[in-house]
Chains A and B, each alone.
Chain A
């Protein structure tokens, strides 16, 4: 499967995605936020540097909001990564969240993790699991990540092969289980080791996710009894109506129903806790965004310099977060963030 970009799909152009999102709905997200007393939305403080180190990935998942895949060549340079490290060394930003694509495919990944660990920061690697088996050069990643106390957050849309493979590609479930075994052997997911392996569930279709606690119990029971693998927490995430998932919604005739479902499920409490309030998203070329979704829609931050080279913490802390119709995805029901449900 090719990325939307490689196949010349209209939704590979962010403005066309936004046009689609604007064309069909009169319920403006900003108005709902204003009604909830949350517009303009302001940051609390920047606690997480979420760095998207590149769009290259060994998988081409059907729901991917990044439109990542083997044919994507955008990769963060060592200079930009160094710039991030320089800022992190001089600012009280405790968490570095490394995402992609498959972040491990960035040639500077290990160097960056080593340097970040030296700063004493909490490091998260958003690992797709199958990368650990994609090439012999990645086989020792579990030990490397364990050595630097990196939290591993991995997508596994379901505890059944059929659902996972439907979203992430044939054979992905089996490889993911093998990769979880490798991580478990390195100490991940085990009580007392402090090595966190957290999984991410997102629905395999145009539905909202159920309660995190119940799904976590299901995942733990099935994965342990049927495959002998374990993990710490399950983060439940709502699919955002952008990029490949937007394409799925339109092609399958679910777009209107799904958007209405998100709108009807708008929850002011969830809106209070959205991740853009404490996270800064950095693109592969050093551009700054309010979140990874805004990044993929090319909606840059406002009220502050938009590139990491001109990082200004005061301006960023006082900026207004840019919201649009896709933000209904994060505020529906129990809410959604990179750390799971927020309510």
Chain B
């Protein structure tokens, strides 16, 4: 069945360089640098990536960073907590706009 997302395409990510090698090289060089151990551990960065993957709802990223966090020694509990962080921020981002709604309501209503 043909679908917009094909799991096999994840492995072809590197091939985006076929159309523009210079920019792809710059991107992957930056990407690899970002995920190195730094002030944050590689494991912490991977958990952040997993949470962001859910926020941007990227199936490739979710598969990749689920595997990556598990390989880096995270537990299922830690993975789910990271997803809840993403959900809380997304939910909170909607809800905090309720203040704007309330402000406007108070302005226009008697």
Interface residues of A, Cβ cutoff 8 Å to B: 160, 162-163, 203, 205, 207-211, 214-215, 218, 260
A-B CB proximity, top 3 nearest: A210-B73, A210-B72, A207-B71
User: Given contacts A163-B75, A203-B71, A215-B73, could you give 19 more A-B pairs where the C-beta distance is less than 8 Å?
Assistant: A160-B75, A162-B76, A203-B70, A207-B67, A207-B70, A207-B71, A208-B71, A209-B71, A210-B43, A210-B71, A210-B72, A210-B73, A211-B72, A211-B73, A214-B43, A214-B72, A214-B73, A218-B73, A260-B11
Which residue from chain B places its CB closest to the CB of A204 in the assembled complex?
B70
Which residue from chain A places its CB closest to the CB of B63 in the assembled complex?
A257
Tally of contacts, chain A with chain B, CB under 8 A? 23
Tell me, rounded to whole Å, the shortest Cβ–Cβ distance linking B70 to chain A: 5
Chain A residues positioned under 8 Å from B71 (CB to CB): 203, 207-210
Chain A residues positioned under 8 Å from B43 (CB to CB): 210, 214
CA distance in complex: A138, B71 (Å): 35
**B71-92 to A contact mask, C-beta < 8 Å, 1/0:** 1110110000000000000000
- Contact at B70–A205, with CB atoms within 8 Å? yes
CA distance in complex: A160, B75 (Å): 9
Which residue from chain A places its CB closest to the CB of B41 in the assembled complex?
A214
* Interface size of B in residues (CB-CB distance below 8 Å): 9
Interface residues of B, Cβ cutoff 8 Å to A: 11, 43, 67, 70-73, 75-76
Chain A residues positioned under 8 Å from B11 (CB to CB): 260
CA distance in complex: A58, B80 (Å): 35
CA distance in complex: A297, B73 (Å): 30
Chain B residues positioned under 8 Å from A209 (CB to CB): 71
Chain B residues positioned under 8 Å from A208 (CB to CB): 71
Chain A residues positioned under 8 Å from B72 (CB to CB): 210-211, 214
Tell me, rounded to whole Å, the shortest Cβ–Cβ distance linking B40 to chain A: 14
Chain A residues positioned under 8 Å from B76 (CB to CB): 162
Tell me, rounded to whole Å, the shortest Cβ–Cβ distance linking B102 to chain A: 44
21 sampled A-B residue pairs with Cβ under 8 A: A162-B76, A163-B75, A203-B70, A203-B71, A207-B67, A207-B70, A207-B71, A208-B71, A209-B71, A210-B43, A210-B71, A210-B72, A210-B73, A211-B72, A211-B73, A214-B43, A214-B72, A214-B73, A215-B73, A218-B73, A260-B11
CA distance in complex: A11, B72 (Å): 30
Chain B residues positioned under 8 Å from A163 (CB to CB): 75
CA distance in complex: A162, B71 (Å): 17
Tell me, rounded to whole Å, the shortest Cβ–Cβ distance linking A248 to chain B: 15
Tell me, rounded to whole Å, the shortest Cβ–Cβ distance linking B23 to chain A: 24
Which residue from chain A places its CB closest to the CB of B43 in the assembled complex?
A214
CA distance in complex: A120, B70 (Å): 42
CA distance in complex: A214, B69 (Å): 13
CA distance in complex: A160, B71 (Å): 16
Tell me, rounded to whole Å, the shortest Cβ–Cβ distance linking B1 to chain A: 16
Which residue from chain B places its CB closest to the CB of A219 in the assembled complex?
B73
CA distance in complex: A96, B67 (Å): 36
- The winner among A163, A210, A218 for most chain B CB atoms within 10 A is A210
Tell me, rounded to whole Å, the shortest Cβ–Cβ distance linking B77 to chain A: 8
Chain B residues positioned under 8 Å from A214 (CB to CB): 43, 72-73
Chain B residues positioned under 8 Å from A210 (CB to CB): 43, 71-73
Tell me, rounded to whole Å, the shortest Cβ–Cβ distance linking B10 to chain A: 10
Chain A residues positioned under 8 Å from B73 (CB to CB): 210-211, 214-215, 218
